[in-house]
Amino acid sequence: MEVYRLSSRLRENEREYLIQTSNDAVEGIVSTTVFVNGLRTDSFSCPHPAGLSPEQMMSLVKQAHGDRKKELETLLRACQNVSADGNADEMYRLGIAFFYRRLYHEAEDILTGLTHLDRGHHQGFSLLAQSCLALGESKEAVNAAIEAVRLRPGYADYRNNLGEALLANGAVAEAVAELEAAISINMYYGEAYFNLALARTLEAADCREAHRRRQLDRRIGELLRKAALILPEFESHADYRDGLTALAAFDYARALGLLKRVRESRKEVKRQEFVTANRRLVTHQDSWTADAIIDQIRLLEAQLVRHPNYLDLQTELARCQFERATHIWWSAVNTCRRILDAHPDVPNVRRALERAQAVPAAAEQVIDSLIPKG
């Protein structure tokens, strides 16, 4: 099958956004990737049915490209409007959208504005810390993470984020304290065990006392085993096994490099899972059309073939199906209205319309109850 490619460019706030879409006949997907100032950021893939004609495939590529371009345009426009309005909830929502699309500079901009506006917004500070860390701004990440922990000291995620930021900033002892605090709050926190293993590896690299280094080596092994027991995907990564080999050879620099790649791979998997299960949060409401819902249903069904027991994916699929049903129901309501506009004296249609208009409100309550709160 022929490969079709489309490209578009946008400019906003001295940044150039390149959107590229193409089909992959072997994988059976249409993929769109966004580049910002030449750096790859977000990517989105959607499966397509087999046996499409060249015309149908080209149409699908055009539609996918147009949808992604419109989403990005809408997000960038919303960022300007929301920042001007000072709506904290919408600013945080846009921060989530930008962060999980790997548009970290945009996330940093909007979340910095949010935290200046609302100094008590702990979620905003936490996400700002993660955005800064993704950009390599470790000092700024530490400052934001400290504020998140100050506002919510009992949140294990915030302690882990602060520990990771401190590690990136070279404050190993302080990082160890925060990561141990995260584990004391949640003893099944695989990522915190893994980060603590990295911190202890840095300690071992600088240790000159043989007895102390042997203690640290044992502790690192224990922490990595606990992390892999809680999150088996760590152990299945080739760099994890190579990292253990490097540790056994006391090659701490190589071990750190390999294990950090394992951590970043885990983060990317989590990011993709979040985007798949929460596309409503990573798009703006103006772009959440009937076509976007159908697109999301198709994507979720494909994901559930590979991960049939993922509760988040199942819940989001149910929510999208209810959402699609509501769109279709409103279409039928509008059809009845058009009938009555042309033929006001059709009693069965009028009765049906009166009953039908009450249904979408109940459906919206059902949809709302499926969206996690807090």
159-189 tens-digit pLDDT: 999 999 999 999 999 999 999 999 999 999 9
pLDDT at 371 > cutoff 60: no
β-pairing verdict for 5-12 and 39-47 = unpaired
Top-confidence residue, 48 or 205: 205
24-28, 107-111, 124-128, 159-163: lowest mean pLDDT where?
Answer: 24-28
**pLDDT score for 374:** 36
What Cα–Cα distance (Å) separates residue 370 from each residue in 285, 313, 315? 17, 12, 7
Grade residue 373 by pLDDT with cuts at 50, 70 and 90.
Answer: very low
Top-confidence residue, 185 or 273: 185
pLDDT at 105 > cutoff 60: yes
When pLDDT is averaged across residues 206-219 and rounded to a whole number, the result is: 89
Using CA atoms, how far apart are residues 130 and 24, in angstroms rounded to an integer?
33
Contacts made by residues 308-312, CB under 8 angstroms, sequence distance 24+: 310/273, 310/277, 312/273, 312/277, 312/278
239-256 tens-digit pLDDT: 999 999 999 999 999 999
Other beta carbons within 10 angstroms of residue 257's beta carbon come to: 14
What Cα–Cα distance (Å) separates residue 329 from each residue in 72, 286, 358? 29, 20, 11
Using CA atoms, how far apart are residues 85 and 76, in angstroms rounded to an integer?
15
User: The domain 87-185: what is its CATH number?
Assistant: 1.25.40.10
**pLDDT score for 280:** 62
**pLDDT score for 328:** 86
List the domain boundaries for the chain. Answer: 5-76, 87-185, 188-284, 289-370
pLDDT at 343 > cutoff 70: yes
pLDDT at 56 > cutoff 60: yes
When pLDDT is averaged across residues 351-359 and rounded to a whole number, the result is: 84
**pLDDT score for 370:** 66
